[in-house]
Amino acid sequence: MAVEAIVAIMAGIAAGSLVLIAFGLDSVIELASAGVLMWRLSVELQHGEKFSESAERIASRIGGGLLFLLAAYVTVSAMWRLWNGTGEEYSWPGFIVALVAIPAMRYLARRKLDIAEKIGSRALRADAVEAITCGWLSFVVVASLAAQWLTGAWWIDSIGALAIVWFLIKEGREAWSEEDCGACCS
């Protein structure tokens, strides 16, 4: 995930690709979420389930807030680029990292779901759902970059970035709302 974030952000900056920068920043947020999950599980081991629920709620709200901020940044940037008619260069490294992320996220999500079921962890199950979302997000990035490469159309990057916003908002809402998390994790 760290390699995915670094390569996507660097390739996005080098190519001026908003879709890759957004993909990389989402990976950074997922890394933070994984760190919070580890912290939350250690809190439960040390202080019991009641305190860990409070820690999970706080951590989820922070993660959700970051995803909403990223969605706002992507929306404003994409609209600005569409308004100004500015595009970007195609990025092979970005395409490759997003392509590799599709099966990697599927595998990671399956493993997390299996472990979450064995230990009965809603937090780990929610983290697995984030990995599933990342896999779909990777697919959007691959499709956007492939379409850009095939057509050379300058506006495809911004449209692909706007498609990512749907995933960011969905993931942010699930992180922010306990009810949504309960629905996906039960």
**In the chain, where the domains are located:** 2-185
Give per-residue pLDDT as tens, 110-169. Answer: 998 898 888 777 667 777 877 888 888 899 889 988 998 999 888 988 898 898 888 889
Let me know how many helices (H) and strands (E) the chain has, helices first: 7, 0
Residue 185 has a pLDDT of 42
Rounded to the nearest 10°, the torsion over CA 58, 115, 31, 19 is -110
Q: Give 38-97 pLDDT, tens digit per residue.
A: 877 787 778 766 666 776 677 777 777 888 888 898 899 889 889 988 767 788 999 999
| Banded pLDDT at 186 (limits 50, 70, 90) | very low
Could you tell me the pTM of the whole model?
0.75
For residue 50, what pLDDT is reported?
66
Q: Report how far residue 143's alpha carbon sits from residue 137's, in angstroms, rounded to the nearest whole number.
A: 10
